[in-house]
Amino acid sequence: MKIQNIRNFSIVAHIDHGKSTLADRMLELTGTITERQAKDQILDSMDIERERGITIKASAVTMEYEHDGEHYMLNLIDTPGHVDFGYEVSRALAACEGALLVVDATQGIQAQTLANAYLATEAGAEILGVINKVDLPAAQPDLVAEEIEHVLGIRRNECFHISAKSGLGVKDLLDAVCMLLPPPADRSDEPARALIFDSQYDDYRGVICYVRVFSGTLKTRQRIRLMGTGYTYQVTELGKFRPDMRPVDELGCGEVGYVIANIRDLANVRIGDTITDDVHPAPDALKGYKPPMQMVFSDFYPGNNTEYPRLRAAFDKLSLNDASFTFVPQNSQALGFGFRCGFLGLLHMEIIQERLERENDIDVVQTAPTVSYEILLRDGTVKRIDAPSELPDRTMVAEIREPFVKLEIITANDTIGGIMKLAEARRCKLLKTDYLSPTRVMMVYKAPLAEIVYDFYDLIKGISHGYATMDYEFTGFEAEDLVKIDILVNGTPVEALSLIVHRSNAEPRGRKLITKLRKSIPRHQFEIPLQVAIGGKIIARETIKAYRKDVTAKLYGGDVTRKMKLLKKQKEGKKRMKNIGAVEIPQEAFMSVLDTSE
């Protein structure tokens, strides 16, 4: 394949604007999938993606296309749109020369439209503006085109008007990809360098690396070296996604595909690393990725302590498929051995937790997510903590700094009032307001991450009847008047339930928390006091009454089968609980920290 006829591009957009559906149409038009194979959002291959109807992982696919009498190879990467998965998008973009920025014609520019447009520009990708869903009666393609021109500087007459659903305009878009997006730079004579932009683990074949070749050529049976980690392997299979894996003999410069080299040890492969030839290595590695910034942290413990090694193996495997979460061993006196995990956001956390349980059949107990804090100690040293329990003794702390973000909210101007009120209650400072169009506004705030990362999005969605969208970006740590709330269950402080909050808010938060706990911790054989302490002083108390009666009166011969079943079920229910100071604390209790509703 002539390198001039290769096009590598990502499809990026706000969530649900139609990326995966556009990919479907392109796969059909290019004959990559037959009508028989076709199904909606075919690239969303994980169960969890199909159930939730969203893309979580970027996926690559190679298509062949005739344009103007020439044969083209198009490598498309479909990306997720949710705010948590910006990192997936930036990795995909690093493997491409171009990007299709899709905007829903009924919704216009949304928070992740902007965020992804910035990412594409940063990655140096050529952007094509695509206005989708023009088939819908509520579509306002001209207005949206105007907005795109006004906000993103893409000329309105250069936007493509399509319906990814019906296929309208998609062929023109493919032609435009061939004509308007640049080919990869020709570095076929240089030593081989391929960027690992993703990977996956297969029980039989080991690690499968998803790569983009930037220079030279990869061949089967070639000896390769991973430049970052230094490990060497022999390539056993090269191939392309079409969209299922098809072996090829070589991957040329500019191409996208996969490499299998019998890599068994997960730790040896790093996303963002460069593959080179072991005999004629490139002098330096490709620019990798800057590591993603984990926004929320939560501890995961196996429901049953003996499952720790299985949990570790499961995390190893998952991390290969998702480079953006971190996990470090954690030993809690109360909860046993587990892991402190870092995530890009709450959806990300939820997904990892669900995949863990589903793909590995492990019950986990998870502590409430928290942001990380910077602690300035009296001796002048600065310490980073990512769990409230790690906060050093009060007497040693000079100040507590919390993470701040630049928060962008896009909404309709008649919902501004409600959103501003909420933002104010959450200690957000309005920096500026921009009108995207006469009826749509972008508000930019400086916000404490802890105030917006959990339920804020849901709340503004509620206030704006589903209209508002938001995106945020970390800006730095700043000192605030923060205090730690401790929760004592049955007289024992439960570290996993403590939280750090602004002083002005501490007492009501603490009270609310134990009210929630009282409902989520089941009754026991004894009375359980719940207490809230701030700086060692008890400020509130609740009591969980003791279980008074739970016994089967009659158990004779004919009752045994049924009773054993019920008892087993009762026992099963205890599995997702952790025993702290003789109290069984269920999973939901740890999460009640998050629930700030009344």
Partner 1 sequence: MAELATGPTKSGRRASCVKREADSRSASWRALARGQASDERQGTRDDSLSFGLYVHVPVCRSKCRYCGFYSLPADRVDAPRLVDGLLLELDRCERTGFCTAYIGGGSPSSLPVNDLLRLVQQVRRRCLPAAEFTVECNPGQVDAGFLEGLRTAGVNRLSFGAQSFLARELELLGRGHSVEQIGAAVTAARRAGFENVGLDLIFAIPGSSPADWQASLDAAVALNIEHVSAYSLSFEPGTVFEAWRRAGRLAAVDEELDRAMYEWTIDRLERAGLRQYEISNFARPGFECRHNLGYWANRPYVGIGPAAASCLTLDIREGGRRITNDADIERYLAAVESGRPAPAQTQVVSPDDAVCETAVLNLRRRGGIDLAEFRRRTGLDPMRIFADPIERYRAMGLMEVTDRAVRLAGRALPVADTILCDFSALD
Ligand X SMILES: Nc1nc2c(ncn2[C@@H]2O[C@H](COP(=O)(O)OP(=O)(O)OP(=O)(O)O)[C@@H](O)[C@H]2O)c(=O)[nH]1
Identity of the residue, 83 or 253, whose beta carbon is nearer to ligand X in the bound complex: 83
Binding-site size, ligand X (CB under 6 A): 20
Q: Spell out a b/e string for 51-85, using b for 16 or more CB atoms within 10 Å of the CB, else e.
A: ebebbbbbbbbbbebebeeeebbbbbbbbbbbbbb
Shortest Cβ distance from residue 563 to partner 1 (Å)?
8
Return the residue nearest ligand X (CB atom).
81
Taking the C-alpha atoms of residue 521 and residue 544, their distance in angstroms, rounded to an integer, is 8
Contacts of residue 475, defined as CB under 8 A and 6 or more positions apart, other chains included, come to 404, 405, 406, 446
Shortest Cβ distance from residue 575 to ligand X (Å)?
33
Q: Which of 21, 30, 276, 469 binds ligand X (CB under 6 A)?
A: 21
Shortest Cβ distance from residue 197 to ligand X (Å)?
18
Q: Which of 204, 550, 597, 598 binds partner 1 (CB under 8 A)?
A: 550
Partner in contact with 399, chosen from Mg ion, partner 1, ligand X, none, beta carbon below 5 to 8 Å by kind: none
* 527 touches partner 1 by CB under 8 A: no
CA distances 501 to 275, 384, 480, 498, 538, Å, are: 46, 16, 10, 10, 16
Q: Are 377 and 70 in contact (CB under 8 A)?
A: no
243 exposure class (CB count in 10 Å sphere: 0-12, 13-18, 19+): buried
Q: Which of 20, 110, 274, 490 binds Mg ion (CB under 5 A)?
A: 20
Write the DSSP assignment of 242-299 as a string of letters.
SSSEEEESEE-TT-EEEEE-----GGG--TT-EEEESSS--SSPPP--PPPPP-EEEE
* 19 touches ligand X by CB under 6 A: yes
Pair of tokens at residue 525: 């054989």
User: Which listed range, 13-21, 215-223, 229-237, 570-578, lies at the site for ligand X (CB under 6 A)?
Assistant: 13-21
Q: Which of 80, 169, 184, 239 binds ligand X (CB under 6 A)?
A: 80
3-class SS at 196? strand
Identity of the residue, 86 or 302, whose beta carbon is nearer to partner 1 in the bound complex: 302
Identity of the residue, 306 or 395, whose beta carbon is nearer to partner 1 in the bound complex: 306
Identity of the residue, 303 or 493, whose beta carbon is nearer to partner 1 in the bound complex: 303
Shortest Cβ distance from residue 306 to partner 1 (Å)?
8
* 59 touches Mg ion by CB under 5 A: no
Kindly state the helix (H) or strand (E) to which residue 172 belongs, with its residue range.
helix 170-180
Kindly state the helix (H) or strand (E) to which residue 356 belongs, with its residue range.
helix 346-360
* 54 touches ligand X by CB under 6 A: yes
Q: Are 307 and 287 in contact (CB under 8 A)?
A: no
Place of tokens 């009659």: 554
* 10 touches Mg ion by CB under 5 A: no
* 14 touches Mg ion by CB under 5 A: no
Kindly state the helix (H) or strand (E) to which residue 29 belongs, with its residue range.
helix 19-29
User: Which listed range, 57-65, 133-141, 352-360, 490-498, lies at the site for ligand X (CB under 6 A)?
Assistant: 133-141
* 135 touches ligand X by CB under 6 A: yes
Q: Which of 34, 203, 557, 598 binds partner 1 (CB under 8 A)?
A: 557
Judged by CB under 8 A, the chain residues 289 through 308 that form the site for partner 1 are: 304, 306
Shortest Cβ distance from residue 300 to partner 1 (Å)?
20
Report the interface residues with partner 1, using CB under 8 A.
Answer: 304, 306, 524-526, 547-564, 567-568, 570-571, 574, 579, 582
